[in-house]
Amino acid sequence: MFSHEESKKIRQQFWTSFGKEFPHKWLLYNTKMKEIQLKFSFTRKFAMVSFDIVDQDEFIRSYYFEKLESLKTVLKESYLPNIQYEKEYELPEGKVISRIFVEKDGVNIHRQKDWPEVKEFLAENMLKMEEFFGDFNDYIKS
């Protein structure tokens, strides 16, 4: 087990090294839509690239989720074949969002031997997620 401080230091080392190895200006929160964010996650259980619909108004969240669901076939066939959709995804702090994501299970941020594989997974899948968002941005925003 790692102390909270040790764990924090390991997470910082991972994300710093990821940024150096993949010096791309990631879209993430700069979607120009306050309801939608692209996110990286890496924990002691999994790594994930996600498209989060974070608005707390259920009607707005459903609106965007249904738009993205209508693009499911093209997203799976042309960008991310392992994409998963969850209309109600509960975050650890209890907040409910809608999430579209790809996940890699069985990896651990505290195991440095997992880092090269996870970095490739995160970069490759986020590039595809950004490409999809760029290609369908106008439709999603309208």
> What average pLDDT does this structure show over 38-51?
96
pLDDT score recorded for residue 2: 80
pLDDT score recorded for residue 31: 86
Q: Domain extents for the chain? A: 4-141
Bridge-based pairing state of the strands 36-42 and 46-53: antiparallel
pTM (two decimals): 0.92
Triad 91, 24, 68: Cα angle to 5°: 45
- The model's confidence at residue 109, banded by pLDDT at 50, 70 and 90, is very high
Is residue 36 a contact partner of residue 52, using CB atoms and an 8 Å limit? yes
Compute how many other C-beta atoms are within 10 angstroms of the C-beta atom of residue 86.
Answer: 13
CATH for 4-141?
Answer: 3.30.1460
Query: What CA–CA distance (Å, rounded) separates 38 from 130?
Result: 8
Look at residue 3 and tell me whether its pLDDT is greater than 80: yes
pLDDT score recorded for residue 118: 98
